Structure 1
Amino acid sequence: MTISRIFATAAVLLLACVHACAADFRSVGSPSVVLYDAPSVKGSKRYIAPRGMPVEIVARYGDWVKVRDVDGELAWTESKGLSARRNVVVKVAFAKVRAAADDNATILMTADKGVLLELVDPQATEWVRVRHQDGIAGFVRAGEVFGI
């Protein structure tokens, strides 16, 4: 096998891993869902997640998914309660939503920690395009939100 063929094979495998290893985020789609300590309604209830809350799916077991929340807590919920519609939650105090993906762009609003924003474009780079429930749309730094 030639060196170029080895590098080509390694590149394909690396790209496959990056795609397979990408974070899988969803949002709570039902009015709310119960999060359990085990993949069963017989498990202990941990807490109730409100509609729109973003979660990262870290494991699947039948109709159940193990999720991680913004605080890093792990719990189980039924997958039917989650939606493919994506939201993010601000994880810092006073995240600035700007008119463009630039630190010098006009500040449209400031979002405090815990504010829920709709993810407009899931193709995140250093900046994420978001929309507030009041209709304000702009860009926030990816490191200031959870859910991407």
Structure 2
Amino acid sequence: MSKPLIKPLLAATLLASLASSVFALEYRSTARNGVILYDAPQESSTKRFVLSANIPLEILAEQGNWLRVRDRDGTLAWLTKADVSSTRYVQVNRLAEVRKDAAANSALLFKVERNVVIELLQDTRTGWLKIKHRDGAIGYIRIEDVWGA
């Protein structure tokens, strides 16, 4: 490799690594029932809607004690940091199969209906998520079958 190409190549590599970290998605879930989402980061602003516990939200920005979030439908709103939990949940997009292991040919444990919220235990980084159903059953679901991971 000739010397004139080294600096541009290093710059391109650095920019690519920065871009991947800048665009990493962050999700959290509502901490309790009755979480209020607002139009602006202040309690005197218009209340948009109220969420149940464990609803996954994408974190877009932080401003003081407030978080700008997006829900599965793309709705943007604000809520207080105290209203989110570090325990992660995902929301099922469509009727989905939960398998015993992280493989399509693994035994089918059960199916989950659209909109069901399930606890996220682990992202295997293989396209499968280890999840826990509210009845205690643990298995693996395809990442494309859920929102919030």
Q: What is the TM-score of this pair, normalised by structure 2?
A: 0.89
Aligned match of 1:17 in 2, 19, 28?
19
Letter in 2 for 1:139: Y
Tell me, yes or no, if structure 1 residue 98 matches structure 2 residue 89: no
Amino acid at match of 1:61: Q
Residue 111 (1) aligns with residue 112 (2)? yes
Work out the number of aligned pairs and report it.
147
In the alignment, does 2:123 pair up with 1:126?
A: no
Residue type of the partner of 2:64? G
Percent identity, please.
33
Deviation of the 1:104 alpha carbon? 1.6
The amino acid that maps onto 2:104 is: D
- Trace 1:1-148 onto structure 2 (pairs within 5 A): 2-92=4-94, 94-148=95-149
- State the 1:14 CA deviation: 1.3
Structure-2 separation of matches of 1:75 and 1:123: 30
Read off the aligned partner of 1:26 and give its amino acid letter. Answer: R
Q: Aligned letter for 1:109? A: F
**Structure 2 SS opposite 1:17:** helix
The Cα of 1:45 is off from its aligned counterpart by: 1.2
Quote the offset at 1:2 in angstroms.
Answer: 4.1
- What amino acid is the match of 1:115? V
Amino acid at match of 1:110: K
Q: Flag the structure with larger Rg.
A: 2
Structure 1 residues without counterparts, runs of 5 or longer: none
- Whether the aligned pair in 2 keeps the contact of 1:65 and 1:79 (CA below 8 Å) is yes
TM superposition outliers: structure 1 runs of 4+ over 3 Å: 122-125
TM-score when scaled to structure 1? 0.90
* Alpha-carbon RMSD: 1.6
